Structure 1
Amino acid sequence: MSTSSNVYIMTTNLDLARRLLALSQSGLHFTPQEYDRERYREIIDIATTLLAAESPESAEKLRSVWFVEDGYATPKIDVRGAIFRDDRVLLVRETTDGKWTLPGGWADVNDSPSHAVEKEIEQETGFTARAVKLAALYDRNLHEHPPYLFHAWKAFFICEITGGEARTSHETDGVEFFSLSELPELSTGRSTAKQIARMYEHHLNRTWEAEFD
């Protein structure tokens, strides 16, 4: 499942508003006191109103996107699979923005990390693959991605094709191998050129330890 709910927000206060929403979500989950619950709901209204002032989305839309689930607020997990063949990298073109990325998306409940990335590769490219190495676990906020409503961690795996053939999907309308020196326009909310280059180094150096923030 790709990161399809892409609510990008151009604001210097995004981290603060995101923190307010997370605290309110967790507070609503834990407190039984209605007075406190009213205060948390008011904080949600204030945070989404501030975000809406610097976003093309309404406060109501921001609230509905954030509160797709309840309970204690935690970072979302995005998995990406890096596959190289003859010094070329496998990329997919996302239908949502027409730009290219390493195949991947949000990890599903009950999936292990390696199965999640293998499933994403098959769904988006038609190839079956095996995850052979966890190369990096990055904090999305620290790696030159555009501002985003949710806090997310990104797990990058080095993978190898085991079968199948290239095909598109309802999420992707292009599947191709590209030279590292001639990358197409990238969907930088998903993968950056610097990350692809770093994954190539991990592909060449399988004994390197995984990187993490």
Structure 2
Amino acid sequence: MARTEFFDDPHAPKPNRLVVGVAVAVTDDAGRILLQRRADNGLWALPGGGMDLTESVPQAAVREVKEETGLEVEITGIVGLYTDARHVIAYTDGEVRRQFAIVLRGRMIGGEPVVSEESTEVAWVPGSDLDSLPMHHTQRLRLTHVIEDRPEPYIG
């Protein structure tokens, strides 16, 4: 299923669903960030996805990273809350979501990076290479906050 992301676009479809999503900024000892190239739009992003009704935020985050990258992680902190209503995501099945995204920090504790049905590539990316990767600007904002290693979480 393909997806299209809109931001502050008057022609964006009207959202029909609010989804709580989690993403994890997993970094390695060299300071590289784990990213995946999404299968649904071809853009690079932090691994993550929607929470299930039976999960806590950390449980959903750990599950999503495992499903999308093959890695086992532990959650170590929070980067921020991303709730801008101007960000709308439309799927080809008719779902148009406004996402409430919680971005956490994590570290790898096991596994090997692998692609999944939701990704075409998984890579450890140095911060200096992020500008060369195609990604939605909302992901760039999140990654900027990861690299800045802010003392307080972003709330916006």
Distance 1:159 1:140 in 2: 23
TM-score, normalised via structure 2 length? 0.80
Distance 1:174 1:161 in 2: 18
Give the superposition deviation at 1:175: 1.0
Residue 168 of structure 1 aligns to which amino acid in structure 2?
V
Report the identity percentage. 22
Structure 1 residue aligned with 2:22: 79
The answer as to whether partners of 2:88 and 2:97 remain within 8 angstroms in 1 is no
Structure 1 residue aligned with 2:108: 161
Larger Rg: 1
Give per-residue Cα distances to partners, 1:77-127, cap 9 Å, x unaligned.
111100112121110111112221110011112110011011111111111
Aligned length: 148
Q: For 1:141, what is the secondary structure of its paired residue?
A: coil
1:6 corresponds to 2:15: no
Give the superposition deviation at 1:14: 4.9
Which ranges in structure 1 are unaligned for 5 or more consecutive residues?
A: 19-65, 67-72
- In terms of fraction of residues, the more helix-rich structure is 1
Give the superposition deviation at 1:147: 6.1
TM-score, normalised via structure 1 length? 0.60
Structure 1 residue aligned with 2:97: 150
Q: Quick one: structure 1 residues 106 and 187, their matched pair in 2 at CA, closer, same or farther if it must change by over 3 Å?
A: farther
- Aligned-pair RMSD on alpha carbons? 2.6
- In terms of fraction of residues, the more strand-rich structure is 2
Higher relative contact order (CA 8 A, sep 6+): 2
Distance 1:176 1:87 in 2: 13
